[in-house]
Amino acid sequence: MNNLLLSVGLGVLAAVVTFIVLDRFFPAQAGEAVDGDVPGGNSAQLDQLRRENRWAQEILERMAEGVLVLDESAKPLSTNSAGRDLMGFHEDMLPARLPSGEVLELAEKALAEGVSREALASVWFPARMSLWARAAPLQDGSGVVVVLQDVTNEIGIQRARREFVAHASHELKSPVAALRTLAEAIRRAVHEDPDMAEHFSTRLTAEAERLGRLIEDLLDLTKLEEAATPPDQRIDLSEVAQSEADRFETPASAAGTSFERHIHPGVWIMGDEGQLGTMIRNLLENAFHYTPREGRVTIEVSERGGNALVEVGDTGIGIPLEAQSRVFERFYRVDRGRSRDSGGTGLGLAIAKHVIELHGGHIQVESELGQGSTFTARIPSAAPEQGTVRSLAG
């Protein structure tokens, strides 16, 4: 980022200097000046100066970075439109003082020391933003050029990553601590109380499996985040859903939960089979986890209005209204204890949402406490002929 800014800064500096010089000598539009305005100037030179001025001004106006020119007392002299927007200047009116204390301090430092200075500045006006600011003093000490780049998004992403790493480490700590405690308990019980040792050993296996699932989910999420291009295989979503649903038949009948499938054949999308399988599996796992025995889980796959629809419904515990918008966040659980008991990682829905968004779709939930929940994923269908060819062949 610094290098990019440096090269941008240097690249425009020549233009900026022309701009400042012309701006100072021709405060009225240079293009409107008359020959007599420049003592000893001739018309060819003046035309050349006008062209260069227009050229410099156009470059500055088109830049995404804000460029501010300040005089020797750090008073704003001129700016391009990005600079006006970033500093919240009124059109054509420059204030006597920069509104951002941090940017002003940087410019004053650069002026006082005669060397370029750069720093991250947080501004609150005209909006809350993080700006990367670089102040380069003019060689004769008559002013300073400040280049501003809006890095709010980049800083936000970095912060989210840091929070995620902190959160993930915290989540990993608890099964690791449980494994340690259980191993110690087994060591003590193995001679005196073999039944107890057996019990601890079962719990240790369950904790190790949960840890394994957490690591797998973290890796899945990382892979999804690194995916640079949208998945582009022609996939029969119906087939993916059928094979994922098959996995749940035996546990469903063992639990006495009825499992209904309404999977229309030949629902085609462009996608990644593995990711789509994970998404459907996560929705079904949740439906079964959060539905008591004797309840009902349904999966429906269909095509409507140019979209493939996957609806997974249950008659389970439901999700409180205030939690419905949060269940797709990483590590968010309505009931931490219940999720943990069922071996949940708190990442299943975050992964499902990520997969669906990578496929250009979106997911929503409708739920009523004590009545059940329905998760609906919509993903744009593939072009009709792509699906037809494979359906007929199949």
Residues lying near ligand ADP in the complex (CB under 6 A) are found at 282, 286-287, 290, 314, 316-317, 319, 327, 332-335, 339, 344-350, 373
Name the minimum Å distance from CB 194 to ligand ADP: 33
Name the minimum Å distance from CB 342 to ligand ADP: 7
Residue 313 CA neighbour count, 13 Å, CB half: 15
Name the minimum Å distance from CB 94 to ligand ADP: 51
Residue closer to ligand ADP, measured from CB, 23 or 216: 216
Residue 223 CA to residue 331 CA, distance in Å, equals: 17
Name the minimum Å distance from CB 349 to ligand ADP: 3
Element (H, E) at 4: helix 2-25
Sign of the alpha-carbon dihedral angle for 98, 102, 107, 112: positive
Residue closer to ligand ADP, measured from CB, 102 or 366: 366
Residue closer to ligand ADP, measured from CB, 137 or 348: 348
E-strand spans in 102-171?
Answer: 117-123, 129-137, 143-150
36 DSSP assignment? G
Q: Smallest Cα–Cα separation from 112: which of 129, 87, 137? A: 137
Residue 287 CA to residue 85 CA, distance in Å, equals: 49
Residue 168 CA to residue 153 CA, distance in Å, equals: 22
Name the minimum Å distance from CB 327 to ligand ADP: 4
Residue closer to ligand ADP, measured from CB, 97 or 262: 262
Residue closer to ligand ADP, measured from CB, 54 or 213: 213
31 DSSP assignment? G
Residue closer to ligand ADP, measured from CB, 86 or 276: 276
What angle is formed at CA 258 by the lines to CA 256 and CA 263, rounded to 5 degrees?
150
CB 318 within 8 A of CB 369: yes
Sign of the alpha-carbon dihedral angle for 264, 266, 269, 270: positive
Do strands 296-304 and 268-271 pair parallel, antiparallel, or not at all (unpaired)? unpaired
Residue 316 CA to residue 85 CA, distance in Å, equals: 51
Name the minimum Å distance from CB 123 to ligand ADP: 36
Name the minimum Å distance from CB 258 to ligand ADP: 15
Q: In angstroms, how far is the first alpha carbon of the chain from the final one?
A: 52
Residue closer to ligand ADP, measured from CB, 109 or 331: 331
Task: Give whole-number Cα distances, 375 to 49, 162, 202, 312, 362, in Å.
Answer: 65, 30, 33, 5, 11
Residue closer to ligand ADP, measured from CB, 13 or 365: 365
Residue closer to ligand ADP, measured from CB, 86 or 350: 350
Name the minimum Å distance from CB 55 to ligand ADP: 55
Name the minimum Å distance from CB 243 to ligand ADP: 20
**Could you tell me if residue 209 is left (phi over 0), alpha (psi between -120 and 50 degrees) or otherwise beta?**
alpha
